[in-house]
Structure 1
């Protein structure tokens, strides 16, 4: 196809060329549009054909299947109807998937808080921290007279939660009440039903292990959720963050020694200034990472203080004397971290300053990592040459630290 120049058009040769190019582009767009429209119509036709074929197939199957096929269909429908058990909460009956350990309150929460999705579920680290807390509480309650058979079943179920064996039974998202009541009850129900199963009972019966009376004994959502947050944060800092920072520190320190005799130009305002060694430059990064670790460690003593034992409002109502101290000791023994009971439960329940302080330290760490990544990227600048390695990891690191340190990293 060709674009024809109208006879009444008198163009400069250059203008004529531009006009022809524009006409060709317009023609191409029309062709693409027509082609897309045709493809869309064809796709719709195929979809309608598939729908009609499926309807026809169902019609034939419903009229002509043998008694054996009918029995299979009936059995399948029965199995489907039996895949739920019926439980009750204060608002009425609810269907709970028969293969799940959670109960009516968890299902009710999924109905009340239809927000987010799988990516916004309660972090599994918090769930595992709850497992540690529930085990510790069961051990202390056993010392105070809880039936050893019930306590031991709770301990076994809680250990499975901590080990990640029951992760599929925690469907709730972070969007719920500020006290974390729904997640606390989700954990109570899962541990209760798993303990019932261990003891040979029926799921959903709340017998012989009750989610409130036994698993949540001497506890409230108001003190358990802050406690679980502190346990989860402390474990992540010690198991993930500090080892990672130490690895980075050691790697940079090794490079500082390796590069000590390499002289480079120093820059101020990105302009050439006076010389220094590359090892000295990396020595600055080493010190930044060292300070990062020290800042995080300095925030941890307040994170080690646990709210458990404060119950609903911080008074410790419905707990035995010494419960809070004993639970903190048990959690410390289970995690290997120096947890203690919070000296003031009212502050521990009503404020989260310890986590805000830790968050501030983490923000500073993110800013330090951003600065180091920027410098390493700048070291990789210059003319393109064969075999050059682009600083892609540094850029990815910057994006990650920008997210972690928001809004103060940039």
Structure 2
């Protein structure tokens, strides 16, 4: 349980005293964060969620790059630089996750998150050099860990790195989903079913064609997500507070991006106009918009599958989705399309997050956007949710879908959709009359066309061949 803070000096060994511009504060002796983090804990108990761990890890990598360059240039002592790098490696590997305690939603454009990392890195490095937590004369969170840096260039840079790292597996997940849908396209290539527009009977189609259309939409999403990484590669690290680079030597500015590129293995590039990266968050809006487009596709597919699998006795029932759990606490035997419902909810969350990102990015003022924490929290959540939902939806729903061919045939037999094939031969009004008679008398379109003298039996069979009306062209010609 977190120890309470105090504003009064205390000789209690359970605490250490730290001081900032607002005065002294007692900090629990065992924690690795310091006074800036302690104040943020008190100021922002908002969402109850910590900052996304991928962002913390990315900030640690940025800190490592900065320490390496600062040590190389003699801006901080070599042993301090080495200790900071060691501490950053620990954090980037997931260590001390319980020390990153600032709420995901916070004022200050991410300064509280940034200082949380600075303080934990400093205290880890202090211990590495043989000191005790709070001995900031050995390693200082600002003078050493934050040398040549500002929240305003570190935080957006780290967000880009974190987003790229989540984007790559998501792109792979979409590729796998596309392949699964293409497999279903081939599996059901010869299964006739009703196509529907506005939920009403429209034209015959192959079940495989529907899955093929889904696969094409997912392929576009896959390509969009693959290209989205390009938007995130340009960083303005070295721009410091407002992009002018004040307090960062030119050698540092040029070397730190190359070093960060080496450490991450990502194709990062230095911005030619760093103030742009400080002022503007439109890149994250663009990436979120691409995620929203992918979520829209996911929602559409999941909704279609729920509809086509509805029933099974009182609905459409043309598809059977895998049964993965019992569906009701009171209705025995009921099985719900829970994986499609999960996918739909994940899509809704991504769409909602996009709205938050849009407003937050639009809210930037002059040389900084104060709403970076909301953008970061929403974007990384969207990436993570989709990244988890897609493989589950693919493996536990798409790959196990079965088509009920008997139901499909019966729906097609009872419909009048084949009347459309008669239009080029008999005209719209005659075809409509035939469809109306068939519907009222419970006959097939072919039976009415022949018995009413519109077509010979041979000609009707030729025109109304269901296998022909699922292809381009005029049936019977």
TM range (shorter): 0.7 to 0.9
User: Distance in 2 between the 1:252 and 1:219 partners?
Assistant: 47
Residue 179 of structure 1 and its aligned partner are, at CA, apart by 2.1
Q: How does 1:128-167 map to 2 (within 5 A)?
A: 128-145=57-74, 146-167=76-97
2:277 counterpart residue number: 348
Q: Secondary structure at the match of 2:107?
A: coil
Q: Are the counterparts in 2 of residues 201 and 207 from structure 1 also a CA contact under 8 Å?
A: no
Residue 407 of structure 1 and its aligned partner are, at CA, apart by 7.8
Matched, 1:231 2:177: no
User: Distance in 1 between the 2:130 and 2:37 partners?
Assistant: 23
Unmatched segments (≥5 aa) in structure 1: 1-79
**Aligned partner (choices 167, 174, 198) of residue 245 of structure 1:** 174
Q: Could you say which structure has the larger radius of gyration? A: 1
User: Distance in 2 between the 1:343 and 1:405 partners?
Assistant: 32
**Aligned partner (choices 280, 287, 305) of residue 216 of structure 2:** 287
Q: Secondary structure at the match of 2:19?
A: strand
Q: Secondary structure at the match of 1:95?
A: strand
Deviations 1:372-399 (A, max 9, x none): 1011112202443998853221012111
Return closer, same or farther for 1:335/1:371 CA change in 2, 3 Å cut-off. Answer: same
Deviations 1:258-278 (A, max 9, x none): 111222111122222222111
2:336 counterpart residue number: 390
Unmatched segments (≥5 aa) in structure 2: 1-10, 315-331, 356-477
**Aligned partner (choices 189, 199, 216) of residue 260 of structure 1:** 189
1:30 counterpart residue number: none
1:66 counterpart residue number: none
User: Distance in 2 between the 1:288 and 1:325 partners?
Assistant: 41
User: Distance in 2 between the 1:197 and 1:302 partners?
Assistant: 39
2:41 counterpart residue number: 110
Deviations 1:60-94 (A, max 9, x none): xxxxxxxxxxxxxxxxxxxx943222211122221
User: Distance in 2 between the 1:192 and 1:408 partners?
Assistant: 35
Greater shift, 219-228 or 382-391, is seen at: 382-391
Residue 194 of structure 1 and its aligned partner are, at CA, apart by 0.2
User: After the TM superposition, which parts of structure 1 deviate over 6 Å for at least 4 consecutive aligned residues?
Assistant: 385-388
TM-score (ref. length: structure 2): 0.65
Q: Secondary structure at the match of 1:94?
A: strand
**Aligned partner (choices 199, 208, 211) of residue 270 of structure 1:** 199
Question: How many residues are treated as equivalent by the alignment?
Answer: 327
**Aligned partner (choices 308, 322, 333) of residue 262 of structure 2:** 333
Residue 192 of structure 1 and its aligned partner are, at CA, apart by 0.5
Q: Are the counterparts in 1 of residues 232 and 283 from structure 2 also a CA contact under 8 Å?
A: yes
Matched, 1:122 2:51: yes
Q: Secondary structure at the match of 2:24?
A: strand
User: Distance in 2 between the 1:318 and 1:102 partners?
Assistant: 25
Q: Are the counterparts in 2 of residues 255 and 282 from structure 1 also a CA contact under 8 Å?
A: yes
Return closer, same or farther for 1:326/1:384 CA change in 2, 3 Å cut-off. Answer: farther
User: Distance in 1 between the 2:334 and 2:252 partners?
Assistant: 63
Q: Are the counterparts in 2 of residues 299 and 354 from structure 1 also a CA contact under 8 Å?
A: no
Return closer, same or farther for 1:342/1:408 CA change in 2, 3 Å cut-off. Answer: closer
Return closer, same or farther for 1:202/1:408 CA change in 2, 3 Å cut-off. Answer: closer
Matched, 1:97 2:28: yes
Residue 406 of structure 1 and its aligned partner are, at CA, apart by 2.1
Task: Output the aligned Cα RMSD.
Answer: 2.0
Larger RCO (alpha carbons 8 Å, 6+ apart) = 2
Q: Secondary structure at the match of 2:144?
A: helix
Return closer, same or farther for 1:408/1:316 CA change in 2, 3 Å cut-off. Answer: closer
User: Distance in 2 between the 1:390 and 1:98 partners?
Assistant: 52
Residue 189 of structure 1 and its aligned partner are, at CA, apart by 0.6
